[in-house]
Amino acid sequence: MKFKNARTAVAAVAFAALAVCLIAGVATGTWCGFGANDIAVLCPVGALLSMVAAKTLIPRAVLSIVVAIALVLLLGRLFCGWICPVTLWRRVKEFFKPVKTREQEAEALSQANQALAAEEIAALKEASATHDCAACGACHAKRNAPFDSRHAVLGGALLTTAVFGFPVFCLVCPVGLTFAAVALLVSLFGAGDLNWSLLFVPAMLVIELVFLRKWCGRFCPISAFMSLISRFSRTGMPVIDNERCLETAKGTACSRCATACTFDVNLRHPDLGELPLHDCARCGDCIDACPTSAISFRVVSGKPVPFADALSTVRSGGKAKTSAAPALDDLEPEEA
Amino acid sequence: MAGGNPLTRRTLCIGVGATVAMAGLGALRYVGSEPLVRPPGGQDEENLVSRCVHCYRCIEACPEKVIVAASLDAGVLNTRTPRMEFSDCYPGQLDDFRYCDFCAERNGGVPLCAAVCPSGALQLPVDYAPETEVIGVAVLNTETCIAYRSSFCAFCHDVCIQVRGEENAAIYYQNADAADALDTRLPVVDAEKCNGCGACEAVCVSAQAGSTMNASERAIVVKPLEG
């Protein structure tokens, strides 16, 4: 089974289980606050906002944040790839997109990514002969930043919560709204309850997930929180076998891994993705997309390697398959 | 250097836009909100609205199914926070109604809603005791109450004795002396004794929709304290 289907299934089963518990009255909670009996963790953003609103330290909220940090350190934004119900909404949205549009978009993205890759490969080939490539970095423009619009939204959520004294973002969080929709359906069909939430909840979900492009990578403050921590994660990432990768082994601009990435990360050229590599959600789409099966998940994945270093490592490795290109063995690993 | 980052304008637009949108939503709290009857431990309104993250664990945990999520109609501040709902029961069922017994039977008097709340939005007072805890007060509308309008009705009175015992029952007859004239007995709520458990509201048989009175709620309903 492809990773994309596997993680959709995981998210769907997890969501369905919680929805059934909500209907049946088993106190598991939702992803906003999840647990059994007295043991529960809060959503780290909810926990943070709750404490800001109440202007107090809430022991369980602090503990929840610590747990979340530990999980993100181990697994990065795995939640985004495998559990978050927004994953399911994305599949629904994708389903309703005409096949032709989808193909055109994928093609355009593929060409853009290949062009970027070709540019970097060419620049490296040319530059490596003359100067220290890694120290210069002039062969490509960095297309992502350590902080982006999501972090601004997170800041806005903290600010408005402090000003108005209640977790404002929680009202519009698509994760919470998805569960709110379940509860609303129950009260609509159970008690015939008609109210304004029946309009508000679907309207907010549509605005956030249809009209705002790329909610997860550009708006979501939960994703922002996780990306603050995941940059220190060195485990569970997909890693490229440079001996088999078309780009490093043959010098072909392929970048299918970047094109396939649901989360706008570029595994081969980390600086060229819309989001930095630490936003990897361990979704596995790159593994499925790789034409030479060069990518696999590693338990200990280590520090992300810039393309220039990967290329020079292969060239200097003496495998001699691609001796046409100049050797780059005088390169030092670059600080990320 | 953060590199030739082309995203700064987008960052600014999205950051400012989202903050303004959230501020607009947050400011709606001053439009006002309907006072609601809260689950046990939720009587400090400020504490509840600031801490609740709408995880719905209290709603799920309630064995009596009398907690629901408030809708937008109750105000932005109340949206998706827990409130008590006693009017969902089929009226007049003295052997099958749902009310808040503070989980006396199921959890020895410690309400499960407050026990499972992960953010402390529902927080029992330090001197909590199920016998003294009050979540609201029943208010009887003599305009719509059957006993006041037409004929004898004893549902709220009887159920109050049933759940709280003769000693603590909060509903009594105004003219209990008139022993021989049952149909003139009028129920009255003793607000001092009422703990807002909702049993009376759950069994109240007063007509609501479709009646000539055009009542929007049952004749006896639990209201928040100091509402």
Structure confidence at residue A327 (pLDDT)? 43
Rounded CA-CA distance A124/A272 in Å is 15
Q: What does the pLDDT average to over A278-291?
A: 96
Mark yes or no for CB contact B71/A196 under 8 Å: yes
Is the CB of residue A27 less than 8 Å away from at least one CB of chain B? yes
Domain range annotation of chain B: 35-223
Structure confidence at residue A306 (pLDDT)? 87
> B223: closest CA among B43, B63, B76, B50?
B43
Mark yes or no for CB contact A29/B118 under 8 Å: yes
Residue tagged 């503070």 (tokens)? B102
Q: List the structure tokens of A74.
A: 């181990």
> Percent of chain A having pLDDT more than 70?
90
Lowest mean pLDDT among A82-91, A271-280, A306-315, B61-70: A306-315
Q: What is the pTM of this model?
A: 0.89
State the smallest CA–CA distance between residue A257 and chain B in angstroms.
22
> A220: closest CA among A296, A281, A152, A143?
A152
Structure confidence at residue A319 (pLDDT)? 45
Is the CB of residue A6 less than 8 Å away from at least one CB of chain B? no
Residue tagged 């303004």 (tokens)? B20
* Partners of residue B119 in chain A, C-beta under 8 Å: 33, 42, 46-47, 50, 58, 60-61
Among the partner residues A30, A46, A151, nearest to B56 by beta-carbon distance: A30
The answer to whether residues B60 and A26 touch, using CB atoms and an 8 Å cutoff, is yes
Mark yes or no for CB contact B53/A176 under 8 Å: yes
Per-residue CA distances from B35 to A196, B78, B163, B208, B227 (Å): 17, 9, 26, 21, 6
Residue ranges of chain B with per-residue pLDDT less than 50: 1-4, 209-210
Per-residue CA distances from B147 to A269, B73, B150 (Å): 79, 31, 6
Q: What does the pLDDT average to over A140-153?
A: 89
Tell whether the model's pLDDT for residue A332 goes beyond 60. Answer: no
Structure confidence at residue A331 (pLDDT)? 41
**Packing angle, helices A59-75 and A44-54, rounded to 10:** 150
> B151: closest CA among B183, B129, B122?
B183
**pLDDT tens digit sequence for A40-91:** 899 999 999 999 999 999 999 999 999 999 999 999 999 999 999 999 999 9
Q: List the structure tokens of A128.
A: 């490596």
Structure confidence at residue A226 (pLDDT)? 97
Domain range annotation of chain A: 31-75+148-228, 100-146+235-316
Render the burial of B137-170: b for 16+ CB within 10 Å, e for the rest: bbbbbeebbbbbeeeebbbbbbbbbebbeeeebb
Give the pLDDT band (50/70/90) at residue A336: very low
ipTM, 2 decimals?
A: 0.89
